[in-house]
Amino acid sequence: MKSDIEIAREATPIPIGEVAAGLGLSPDDIDTYGKYKAKIRLDVLERWKDRPDGKLVVCTAITPTAAGEGKTTTTVGLSMALGKLGKKAVCTLREPSLGPCFGVKGGAAGGGYAQVVPMEDINLHFTGDTHAITAAHNLCAALLDNHLFHGNELDIYPLAITWPRVIDLSDRALRQITVGQGGEGVERKTRFDLSVASEVMAILCLATDVEDLKARLERVVLGYTRGGEPVRAKDIRASGAMAVLLKDAFMPNLVQTLENTPAIIHGGPPANIAHGCNSVQATRMALKLGDYCVTETGFGADLGAEKFFDIKCRYAGLVPDCVVLVATIRALKMHGGASLSALKDEDLEALSLGIENLEKHLENLQWFGPPVVVAINRFPDDTDREVALLRERVGAMGANVVLSEVWAKGGEGGLELAEEVLCLTQGQPKPPFRFLYDLESLVPDKIETIATRIYGADGVDYTLEAETAIDRLTELGYGSLPICMAKTQASLSDDKAKLGRPRAWRLTVREVRLSAGAGMIVPVCGRMMTMPGLPRHPAAEGIDLVDGEIVGLF
């Protein structure tokens, strides 16, 4: 069996200008980065603003497991399959982070014969967007500490500074640090977050245009004065320089699939510690350029999809036409208690228990309104009886199960799924759509709604620090912002050990952070960290450059 990287290297990509031309873009509409990558210029959206939007298809998944689900692979494969059926489809993905790539998770460019290329570039430095975000974020941090050093004209309280520093690598030693030691500034404690968890990343992904980008950067709250007033990036005159560093990064990136279907990859906030969606610019561009925009949201539907609906759709005015819920029978058996080593064996009992996880996600998605199809990445060991059980349970909830083989067959293996998507969307008006909560509800009420209705918790418990933060943010006028939960991706609960559909548990909110520029309140739940650590044997140990070729990346 060929590896993903072997398959990618055997691909025959076409020059990116040809991909762009297939979308109706001229050479003046793109800035090329080598032969197979380009950025799409922002004036395309303005010029084509009156063109009708294509259909918006959202790909999400069950709670992830070590068995794998294949959400990105399905997103890519579905776009290729729609192309085979004569539709101009564009898939939109998030940019991978170097942290997970060199740590545990690995790459994020699809798999098998449903990949985007150039895969190695996409998973490494790509077009430099994340580096630009890192620089913009840390420039603001440097200007903040410089302001303290040169007299602190704004009377900023050093112990009330909330703006951390960021780096695009997993490094647990940076979770708590002290800066300004040795007389080189005002000594204070702070932290590093992963670059993709930066509020600057969220701002880049949620901004609707350059002016909105600049306005959001100005609103970023860095900390508080001794009198308790917020200190914003505009107060230390940082936002303009930050916008300059993001000028090119704000343009979406155009690449292609193994079958030369266009793919727009832009922005990479993770769904467990941020809002988990690619940029508004990428999605809008795909909706104008194609008949179908097939977009991916991060991790399970409890995280990426909920945030797509309640945060991204609110700010961008989007309404999905249908949702694809991705799962594997292997992963469902893990949720039902089967061990990783026993997943090849038929186990109807474990599958039956594990399907409860899928049922919870399906129930949640149906509540929002758009029609849902369940896509099962078929493995050779999946038995007919297991498939029949799955079809029966999902059918009882009013949805269809479609088997997908895009990993092994590319677009050809996704034709059944593509036909189901066409059936749900073609010739249909926009489906009914509703948000989970009213923005004007109290912050604790919004948090509890997410916890009880989406996660299945019995209620929410707050630390004193979290309660105090909510009260303070409400007093400052931020109480009407949407909620972006930071929670483990490995469980519907805040405990990664609880698989399946946990019952009789309560969500713990440890702290509450403000992302005023992005426009959201971030409750941090359970033991969730915004700076991951590396495992005992990180992926980086096996990565090398041999005779000019990268080895061990996948």
Give the span between the Cα atoms of 278 and 422, in whole angstroms.
23
Give the span between the Cα atoms of 525 and 532, in whole angstroms.
15
Of 37, 39, 71, 333, the active-site residue reads 71
Of 108, 132, 238, 271, the active-site residue reads 271
Of 60, 73, 257, 508, the active-site residue reads 73
Q: Which residues contact 190 (CB under 8 A, 6 or more apart)?
A: 161, 164, 165, 177, 178, 179
From residue 443, how far is each of 202, 354, 474, 481, 486 by CA, in Å? Answer: 20, 33, 8, 8, 15
**Residue 48 annotated in active site:** no
In 356-457, where do the E strands start and end?
372-377, 400-404
Give the span between the Cα atoms of 54 and 200, in whole angstroms.
29
**Residue 105 annotated in active site:** yes
**Residue 409 annotated in active site:** no
Cβ–Cβ under 8 Å, residues 538 and 102: yes
Q: Which residues contact 247 (CB under 8 A, 6 or more apart)?
A: none
**Residue 178 annotated in active site:** no
Q: Which residues contact 502 (CB under 8 A, 6 or more apart)?
A: 456, 491, 492, 493, 495
Give the span between the Cα atoms of 474 and 492, in whole angstroms.
28
Of 126, 163, 407, 505, the active-site residue reads 407
Taking each helix axis from N to C terminus, what angle separates 415-425 and 71-84, rounded to the nearest 10 degrees?
A: 80
Of 379, 453, 474, 510, the active-site residue reads 379
- Quick check: bond before 118 cis, omega within 30? yes
Give the span between the Cα atoms of 474 and 278, in whole angstroms.
29
Residue 140: name the closest of 2, 228, 245, 285 by CA. 245
Residue 258 tokens read as 């193994």
Of 84, 105, 175, 510, the active-site residue reads 105
Of 299, 308, 368, 554, the active-site residue reads 299
**Residue 510 annotated in active site:** no
For the stretch 365-375, what's the b/e string if a residue is b when 16 or more beta carbons lie within 10 angstroms of its beta carbon? bbebbbbbbbb
SS3 58: strand
Taking each helix axis from N to C terminus, what angle separates 384-395 and 348-368, rounded to the nearest 10 degrees?
A: 30
Give the span between the Cα atoms of 360 and 422, in whole angstroms.
25
Give the span between the Cα atoms of 317 and 528, in whole angstroms.
30
**Residue 73 annotated in active site:** yes
Of 94, 288, 333, 360, the active-site residue reads 94
Give the span between the Cα atoms of 425 and 419, in whole angstroms.
10
From residue 66, how far is each of 99, 101, 194, 337 by CA, in Å? Answer: 18, 16, 22, 13
**Residue 94 annotated in active site:** yes
Q: Which residues contact 87 (CB under 8 A, 6 or more apart)?
A: 290, 291, 292, 418, 422
Give the dihedral sign, CA 266/270/274/275: positive
Q: Which residue has the tokens 């990565």?
A: 543
**Residue 126 annotated in active site:** no
Residue 457: name the closest of 525, 527, 504 by CA. 504
Which residues does the annotation mark as catalytic? 71, 73, 94, 105, 271, 299, 379, 407
